[in-house]
Amino acid sequence: MGELEITLGELLDKRANQYSQQEAVVYADQGIRYSYRQFRNICNRAAKGLMKLGIETGEHIAIWGHNHPQWLISQFATGKMGGVLVTVNTDYRAKELEYLLKNSDAKTLILSSGEKNNYVETLYQICPELKNSEPGELNSQKLPQLKNVIYIGEGQTPPGMYSWNEIMDLGKGVPAVRLKGRQNTLQPDQVINIQYTSGTTGFHKGVMLTHTNLINNAHYVAECMNLTAADRMCIPVPFFHCVGCGLGTLACVTKGATMVPLVKFDAEEVLKVVAAEECTALHGMPNMFVAELEHPNFAEYDLSSLRTGIMAGEACPDELVKKVIKKMGATEMTIAYGLTEASPVITQTRFDDPIEKRISTVGRALPNVEVKIVDPETGLQVENGTPGELCTRGFHVMEGYYKMPSDTKVKIDQEGWLYTGDLAVMDEQGYCQIKGRIKDLIIRDGERICPSDVEKYFYKYESVKSAQVVGIPDEDYGEEVMAYVQLKEGDKVTAQDLYKELKGKIPEAELPKKIEIVDSYPLTASGKVQKYKLREEAIEKYGLEDVGSIETA
């Protein structure tokens, strides 16, 4: 793969030399406009500060905060000095944080003040000893391996913690040759990042990703969206998520493009930033694009600069993709599919794909990535057009789950194939459609029904904001279809209205036995819908072992 067989530090150095005066990072509201040379120099100083703190190559450094400039600097600084960055979900509470810090063996934690959740108080709850400790001398009963806490929030530095400025000051006294020597010892196949899975069921697992995993994936993702050094990307997706720090920040650096992050997602703020900074690319989860399109002030902002971007993170409804292309002007918008264990992208539409492919599929495999569809029961590859489990192999497959070798063996077979757990269909040209999770497949009277095939019908109605379909127990058919629907604000459509609209327009087997209007769905900490909880709620609420005729609720 040529120049892509490099480390993250080497990549940043190359771009700083190539595009020294080009804007690398913009936080306009904070007065930050770093050129690539300035950004590289700041990352170098932070890296030297971490080294001065005594952090060795391979040590784990957790980071818990929103998309602050220090988060972004930490991503590349750790890549330069050989630390392993452990990303922490911004919605974690004490129990989840304690598990992650303990499981990851993090010796250092970088944290901000938090917003909905007070991060400092949460950490004190786990480690009360921190309040009476000198910085760098924490001795915690619950987290004996944790020694350093670095504060990147506003205001006075809390007791027991280093301030970010202290780390930067420490970096001034470390000779550049020491950092260069450390950086030169790093290898592309070394783990640089641990990201924890969202945990829709069971314990969160730490996914180990290398320089090669992340840099190659980001490079090919950027190629698919036609990203160049002339582009400016608005990044409202959280950095802790692989879409934010992989498809966002790292993809920009592979091409020398400008990063324009938002500290936290706000629909109108995205519109403002895109217009003011003339962003040409925009990333987001489907729900983010919905919020932007439906914002009452949407029409006030000039989005004519937009051209490309990525929609990813969960199922992308056809109608939503059409609106983003038509109303936001992102004519080269792409759809990406993957999972954390795949660094994360496996397939992606290309900017110049036929419009019908970009609307209805998640694209083809990235270059140097293999994809096959297998029968979930036999493990044998199926013919094109036949649903099965999507499997993938290549440079992008994770090193494994941290300290979980048995779980790794279940996920990756001896031939290197990663089993995604996702139900997919591939056509003759290699384009894939994701039909949902294998475990969410509905078996009705022997017929396999993909939830996404039913969900797409709901999006045809202007009243519907989103829909989630699950299988519920049924005495006669084994399982039946049930739909949970969110309506657009102020809409008064009833479940019965939706049922009448659907009847006769979709196959009888796919017609929901129950439709329930809801305000929200149960979510994981990273915002994914927990369908198994919807199913459990329905079983408990309706006593579904004795379901009779079709009902709506």
pLDDT at residue 546, rounded to an integer: 41
Rounded mean pLDDT, 259-281: 98
Predicted local distance difference test score (pLDDT) of residue 551: 38
**Over residues 404-431, mean pLDDT:** 96
Model confidence at 1, in pLDDT bands (50, 70, 90)? very low
Residues of the chain with pLDDT > 90, as a percent, come to 80
> What per-residue confidence (pLDDT) applies to 199?
54
Q: Name the band, by pLDDT with cuts 50, 70 and 90, for residue 549.
A: very low
Which pLDDT score, from 0 to 100, does residue 524 have? 72
CA atoms within 13 A of residue 426's CA, in its CB half-sphere: 23
pLDDT at 382 over 90: yes
* Confidence (pLDDT) at 5: 92
Mark out the alpha helices in 53-174 (DSSP H runs): 69-81, 94-104, 119-126, 164-172
- Is the previous residue joined to 344 through a cis bond, with omega within 30 degrees of 0? yes
pLDDT band (50, 70, 90) for residue 495: very high
pLDDT of residue 525: 60
Q: Give the Cα separation of 20 and 38 in Å (integer).
A: 8
Percentage of the chain lying above the pLDDT 70 cut: 96
Mean pLDDT (the chain, rounded): 93
Mean pLDDT of 514-535: 85
SS3 per residue for 385-409? CCCEEEEEEECCCCCEECCCHHHHH
Residue 200 has pLDDT above 70, yes or no: no
| Tens of pLDDT, residues 138-169 | 999 999 999 999 999 888 999 999 999 999 99
Domains of the chain from N-terminus onward: 2-196 (3.40.50.12780), 206-438 (3.40.50.12780), 441-546 (3.30.300.30)
Residue pair 432/371 in contact (Cβ under 8 Å)? The answer is yes
Answer whether residue 173 shows pLDDT above 80: yes
The answer to pTM > 0.75 is yes
pLDDT confidence tier of residue 385, bands split at 50, 70 and 90? very high
Query: What is residue 94's three-state secondary structure?
Result: helix
User: What does the angle CA 267 – CA 268 – CA 273 come to, to the nearest 5 degrees?
Assistant: 105
